[in-house]
């Protein structure tokens, strides 16, 4: 498979007149996509290798075009082979928000514009004018179930019983069924500092380059704010997160605040359940163990949100199944894989 894709990649670069550019592989993320940096004396590009059927390059290009149309800043696409999953795209450089924060850049100078970008997105009347699936209750439920499918085996060293899984599903159904309809917009779904790039020289919304948006849906506006301010990969001080949340709500005077806060806490819990499952799956199934280091943070974020009354059914279930246990210091992935019948 790897050799076959190498041949396809070489042919794509030849067809794009880029076969003589210097090719450097870049760090692989949690998806099946791979990126390569291409450069010569005049240009610098990124080669995206998005193998079908695991990745849908056509959807990525469609959403990128839509983001451009609503005055946001995805990478430009110079050449694409949607059948085989290759694209030459704009290279935003190396200044992810994560890198800049690690280099002691002022957090407010980064998070503030990111919040302003979401305000722009949520106010834009054409944000939802794209044919993509809704981020509906069934999808939220399916994602929340990743916790019982993948995280609990890490915590308990064994698969969860069908009875406990059913009780967990019932708890989430009880929560989601009582919620009022949310304010909706385009939801990018992975809107956090790893996927935001500072673009020198640009202003307003164009100073932030957007990455990893191919799974965008139409759904509750609170979701991307949760993704940004309750980050699974880095600690954010509670006073600072509150300040950024206030920056958002101050810019949205027509927002139903009670509705927004209700959805915010529920989506925070749902996302943390999902991420606990995803990070565990990456370690168990895909042998990407670096994500295990984030589990303690995500579990702490989940437990914080459980204090909201609307999440009482979930809190009761988690108290019963997890209690006050933390993440094990030693995680026997070999035994967990055997238990789940995964090689």
CA–CA separation, 58 and 89 (whole Å): 13
The C-alpha atoms of residue 227 and residue 337 are separated, in whole angstroms, by 29
Name the pTM for this structure.
0.93
Range of the domain at 64: 2-90
Same domain? 301 vs 211: yes
pLDDT for position 141: 97
From first to last of the 343 residues of the chain, give the pLDDT tens digit: 577 899 999 999 999 999 889 999 987 666 788 999 999 888 899 999 999 999 999 999 999 999 999 999 999 999 999 999 999 999 999 999 999 999 999 999 999 999 999 999 999 999 999 999 999 999 999 999 999 999 998 888 778 899 999 999 999 999 999 999 999 999 999 999 999 999 977 667 789 999 999 999 999 999 999 999 999 999 999 999 999 999 999 999 999 999 999 999 999 999 999 999 999 999 999 998 999 999 999 999 999 999 999 999 999 999 999 888 778 877 888 888 887 888 7
Sequence-ordered list of residues with C-beta below 8 angstroms from that of 338, at least 6 positions apart, any chain: none
Domain boundary residue among 56, 90, 124?
Answer: 90
* Longest CA–CA separation in the chain, Å: 62
Total number of domains constituting the chain: 2
* Phi and psi based region of residue 306 (left: phi greater than 0; alpha: psi -120 to 50; beta: remaining): alpha
For residues 117 and 174, membership in a common domain is answered with: yes
Number of H helices, E strands in the chain: 14, 9
Could you tell me if 205 and 323 lie in one domain? yes
Residues 278 and 192 in one domain: yes
Q: What is the pLDDT of residue 106?
A: 97
Same domain, 149 and 212: yes
Residue 205 sits in a domain whose CATH number is: 3.90.1200.10
What CATH number is given to the structural domain containing 45? Answer: 3.30.200.20
Same domain, 211 and 125: yes
Distance CA 180, CA 38 (A): 49
Asked if residue 63 and residue 203 are part of one domain, the reply reads no
Please tell me the predicted confidence (pLDDT) of residue 91.
95
> Does residue 287 share a domain with residue 191?
yes
Same domain, 118 and 86: no
């Amino acid at each position: 498979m790897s050799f076959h894709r190498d041949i396809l990649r070489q042919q794509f670069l030849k067809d794009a007149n880029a076969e003589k550019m210097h090719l450097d592989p870049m760090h692989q993320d949690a998806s099946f996509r791979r990126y390569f940096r291409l450069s010569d004396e005049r240009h610098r590009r990124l080669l995206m290798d998005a193998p079908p059927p695991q990745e849908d390059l056509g959807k990525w290009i469609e959403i990128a075009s839509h983001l451009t149309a609503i005055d946001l800043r995805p990478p430009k696409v110079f050449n694409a082979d949607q059948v085989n999953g290759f694209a030459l795209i704009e290279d935003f450089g190396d200044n992810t928000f994560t890198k800049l924060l690690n280099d002691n850049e002022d957090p407010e100078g980064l998070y503030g514009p990111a919040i302003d970008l979401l305000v722009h997105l949520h106010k834009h009347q054409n944000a939802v004018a794209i044919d993509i699936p809704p981020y509906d209750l069934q999808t939220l439920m399916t994602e929340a179930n990743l916790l019982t499918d993948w995280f609990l085996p890490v915590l308990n060293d064994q698969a969860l019983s069908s009875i406990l899984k059913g009780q967990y599903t019932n708890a989430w159904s009880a929560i989601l069924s009582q919620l009022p309809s949310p304010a909706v917009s385009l939801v990018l779904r992975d809107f956090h500092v790893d996927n935001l790039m500072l673009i020198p020289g640009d202003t307003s919304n164009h100073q932030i380059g957007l990455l990893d948006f191919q799974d965008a849906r139409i759904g509750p506006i609170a979701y991307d704010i949760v993704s940004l301010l309750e980050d699974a990969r880095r600690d954010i001080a509670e006073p600072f997160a509150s300040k950024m949340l206030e920056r958002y709500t101050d810019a949205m005077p027509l927002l139903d605040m009670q509705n927004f806060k209700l959805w915010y806490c529920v989506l925070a819990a749902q996302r943390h359940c999902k991420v606990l499952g995803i990070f565990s799956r990456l370690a168990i199934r895909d042998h990407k163990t670096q994500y295990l280091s984030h589990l303690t943070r995500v579990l702490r974020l989940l437990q914080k949100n459980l204090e909201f009354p609307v999440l009482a059914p979930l809190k009761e279930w988690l108290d019963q199944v997890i209690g006050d246990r933390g993440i094990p210091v030693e995680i026997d992935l070999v035994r967990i894989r055997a238990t789940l019948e995964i090689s």
